[in-house]
Amino acid sequence: MKKILLLTCLLLSSKSYALELAKYPIELSSREGVNVVIAPTTDKKQALIKITGINHEIDGITFLTDFKPHGSNNAYKYTYDGTERGLVSVGDSYGCCSYTLYIPDTRDGMYLSKKEQSDPVIVADLKAQYEQQLKQGTQAKLATFNRQKHLNYQQQKVAEANTDINKQCGLAIKTNVEWTAIDDKTLQQYAVGAFCAQVAEQMAYMCKNDQTFKTQFAQFNNIECEFGNTLKLRQNNNTLTFKTAPKAPNQGKFIEAYLLNL
Residues 182 and 238 in one domain: yes
Residues 166 and 137 in one domain: no
Query: How much is the pTM?
Result: 0.79
* Structural domains of the chain, count: 2
Give the model confidence (pLDDT) of 202-214 as tens digits.
999 999 999 999 9
Residues 71 and 38 in one domain: yes
**How crowded is residue 23: how many other Cβ atoms within 10 Å of its Cβ?**
9
Q: Which residues pair with 80 in a beta bridge?
A: 83
Mean pLDDT of the residues in the chain: 92
Residues 134 and 158 in one domain: no
Instruction: List, in order, residues 6 or more apart from 51 with CB less than 8 Å away.
Output: 34, 35, 36, 58, 59, 60, 61, 87, 101, 103
Residues 69 and 138 in one domain: yes
pLDDT of residue 93: 67
Domain boundary among 143, 159, 178: 143
pLDDT category, 12, cuts 50, 70, 90?
very low
Residues 218 and 154 in one domain: yes
Domain that holds residue 228: 147-260
Residues 126 and 178 in one domain: no
pLDDT of residue 95: 63
Domain boundary among 90, 115, 143: 143
